[in-house]
Amino acid sequence: MTGKAADNSRMRLAGLIRKEVYQIMRDPSAIGIAFLLPVLLLLIFGYGVSLDAEHVPVGIVVEKPSPEATNFTSGFQNNRYFEPIAFDSIQEAEKALMERRVTAIVWTRNNFTKKLLSTSDSPIGVIVNGVDANQARIIKGYIMGVWMRWLDKFARAQGASLNVPVMVKKRIWFNAAVRSRNFLVPGLIAVIMTLIGGMLTSMVVAREWERGTMEALLVTPVRKKEIILGKIIPYFVLGMGGMMLSVIMTVWVFQVPFRGSFIALTFSSALFMLTAIGLGLIISVAAGSQFVAGQIAIVITFLPAFILSGFVFDIGSMPAPIQGITHIVAARYFVSILQTLFLAGDIWHIYIVNWLWLTGMALFFFMVIRRKFHKRLQ
């Protein structure tokens, strides 16, 4: 008899999944959300989100033209980081800075040539717009680089050498070209899939309630477990499809190196997808109505995944209590896995720690769903 019961259960589950597949095929919005949306968001955001400052408009003020000054300022031309704009006076340049027409000013004073090499007082002034502190810091670094290179060349040309006690030699691992896209785009996958998972599932369960079909399902001999699985399996497959599409785009369109293994990627994605779908299901089961479900989904998926996942903002630098909060954001673990997987290759220790967290979260979510979802109405 138990064999027969198992057969029946399998038949019911298969029926539910088949139903969901038909519905997905007929309703273009689900396919749109699962496939089109990630592609679209990844395209826009992938191109749109970058921390690499290029073609920064820099105001150049040469108070008294001299061969050296011209030589120095020409360092800003033919340089992909800068877009030099000449100004006749510092006042004009400062006005341009106020009006955000230039982001920085390089100003060679009239005693430029004389003071070169002679004192530690620099004969040039640099002003950056510090409103965007991060960009300002990066631009500051660029300008200092130009200055140091020119100084070195200048000293050599004079037959002297620059007196630098300690020279920093940098080696940036995993991303030698320091392309911010290489880490932002994998992070975006985590943010986008959080949205997709939450949206797909929070919508579909609420929809069944609203159309009255859930009631009809509940009075059949179908079991709770089968209803839950019947929802998870199709949307899991759908979500994984969207995920794979995103990964392919990341590698082919955005040229992010893929150094890890496919197995690790699949396994991690699957785990993450489960947490995202689990969260979506909890929202829709707890909320009851489509409307409240949607509102909750907005509040607890997008902004936390955007700000607290470590996708742009470094988690290690947040105050301890905030770091604690980031632990309940599933995207955080997936961001960590993806950044390692794409850029560093398989580092199993990092995977395992994050997998454990994700597994824990997924289990917790499904436990809550089992508790909260009843075959009986309230």
Partner 1 sequence: MPPATEVSSESQAQGHVIEADQVTKTFVSARQKIVALDSCSFNTRPGIVTGLIGPDGSGKTTFMRIVSGLLAPDSGTVRVLGMDSVRDYLEVQASVRYMPQRFGLYEDLSVMENLELYSDLLSIPKPERPAVYERLMKMTGLAPFTSRLAGRLSGGMKQKLGLACTLLKPPRLLILDEPTVGVDPVSRRELWEIVYSQVEERQMSVLLSTSYLDEAERCHEVILMHEGHVLGIGDPKGFSKPLQGHCFMLSVPHGQKRRIQAELANMPEVVDSLILGEKIRLVTRDEMDAARVRQEIGILASAGVEASLPRFEDAFIWLLKKRIEEQEGRRVQFKSLEHHKVKGRPDEDIIVVKDLQRRFGDFYAVKGISFSVKRGEIFGLLGANGAGKTTTFRMLCGLLPASGGTLRVAGKDLRKARAEARANVGYMAQKFSLYVDLTVFQNLRFFSSAYGLSGKRQKERIAWALDAFELSDMADSNSGTLPLGFKQRLALAAALMHEPDILFLDEPTSGVDPLARRQFWAHINSLAEAGVTIMVTTHFMEEAEYCDRVVVMKRGAILAAGTPEELKRRYHPPGMENPTMEDAFITLVEMQEQDKATETGQK
Partner 2 sequence: MLKRILALTIKEFIAILKNKKSRMVLILPPVAQIIVFGYAASFDLNDVKLGIYNEDPGIASRELIGRFEGSRTFQITEHISSDAQISRLIDLQKVTAVLHFHRDFTRDITRGKPAELQVILDGRNSNTALICLNYIQTIVADFNRQWALEKQGRTAPARLKVRSWFNRMLNSHWFIIPGIVALLTIVVTLEVTALSVCKEREAGTFDQLLVTPMTPFEILVGKSLPGLVIGLVEGTFIILVTVLWFDIPLRGSLVVLYSGLLVFLMSVIGIGIMISSIAVTQQQGLMGAFMFLVPAVVLSGFATPIENMPRLVQDLTLLNPMRYILVIVRSVFLQGASFDLLWTQYVPMALIGVVSLAIAGVLFRKRLY
> Using CB under 8 A as the criterion, which residues of the chain lie in contact with partner 1 when the complex forms?
7-8, 11-12, 14-16, 18-19, 22-23, 26-27, 211-213, 215-223, 375-377
Shortest approach of partner 1 to residue 39 CB, angstroms? 24
Binds partner 2 by CB under 8 A, chosen from 79, 135, 266, 359: 135
Range in contact with partner 2 (rule: CB under 8 A) among 115-123, 237-245, 356-364, 365-373: 115-123
The partner in contact with residue 138, picked from partner 2, partner 1, none with C-beta cut-offs of 5 to 8 angstroms by kind, is partner 2
Reduced to 3 states, what is the DSSP secondary structure of residue 246?
Answer: helix
Q: Which two tokens mark 68?
A: 């050296």
By CB under 8 A, how many residues form the interface with partner 2? 103
Phi-psi region of 288 (alpha: psi -120 to 50; beta: other; left: phi over 0): left
Of 55 and 375, CB closest to partner 1: 375
Q: Which stretch binds partner 2 (CB under 8 A): 14-22, 179-187, 248-256, 262-270?
A: 179-187
Closest by CA position to 281, among listed 201, 361, 226, 217: 201
Interface with partner 2, residue 31, by CB under 8 A: no
Residue 88 binds: one of partner 1, partner 2, none (C-beta under 5 to 8 A by kind): none
Which uninterrupted H or E stretch holds 108? strand 104-108
- DSSP one-letter string for 45-92: HHHH------SEEEEEEESS--HHHHHHHGGGTT-TTEEEEEESSHHH
Site string for partner 2, 236-275 (x = CB under 8 A): ----------------------------------------
Q: Sign of the C-alpha dihedral, residues 266, 267, 273, 276?
A: negative
Using CB distances below 5 to 8 A depending on partner kind, what does residue 253 bind out of partner 2, partner 1, none? Answer: none
Q: Which two tokens stand for residue 374?
A: 């009843």
Q: Which does 70 bind (CB under 5 to 8 A by kind): partner 2, partner 1, none?
A: none
Rounded distance, CA 192 to CA 306, Å? 9
Residue 340 touches which of partner 2, partner 1, none (Cβ within 5-8 Å per kind): partner 2
Contact yes or no for 127/94 (Cβ under 8 A): yes
How deeply is 168 buried, as exposed, middle or buried, from its count of CB atoms within 10 A (0-12, 13-18, 19+)?
Answer: exposed
Beta carbon nearer to partner 1, 139 or 204 = 204
Residue 78 contacts partner 2 per CB under 8 A: no
Q: Which one of partner 2, partner 1, none is in contact with 185 (Cβ closer than 5 to 8 A by kind)?
A: none
By CB neighbour count within 10 A (0-12 exposed, 13-18 middle, 19+ buried), where does 317 fall? exposed
Q: Can residue 128 be called a binding residue for partner 2 (CB under 8 A)?
A: yes
Burial state string for 6-25 with b = 16 or more CB within 10 A and e = fewer than 16: eeebeebbeebbeebeeebe
184 interacts with partner 2 by CB under 8 A: yes
194-213 residues near partner 2, rule: CB under 8 A: 195, 199, 203, 207
> How large is the angle between the packed helices 262-287 and 330-339, nearest 10 degrees?
170
Question: How many whole angstroms separate alpha carbon 169 and alpha carbon 173?
Answer: 13
Residue 237: contacted member of partner 2, partner 1, none (CB under 5 to 8 Å, by partner type): none
Place of tokens 């341009």: 96
Tell me how far, at minimum, the Cβ of 138 lies from partner 2, in Å: 6
Q: Is 134 in the site for partner 2 (CB under 8 A)?
A: yes
Q: By CB under 8 A, what part of segment 146-165 binds partner 2?
A: 147, 151, 155, 162-165
Amino acid letter, 332:
R
User: Please, what is the minimum distance in Å from the beta carbon of residue 38 to partner 1?
Assistant: 23
CA 193 – CA 200 distance, rounded (Å): 10
Q: Which stretch binds partner 2 (CB under 8 A): 2-10, 67-75, 132-140, 233-241?
A: 132-140
User: Considering beta carbons, is residue 24 or 185 the nearer one to partner 1?
Assistant: 24
Contact flag: residue 339 with partner 2 (CB under 8 A): yes
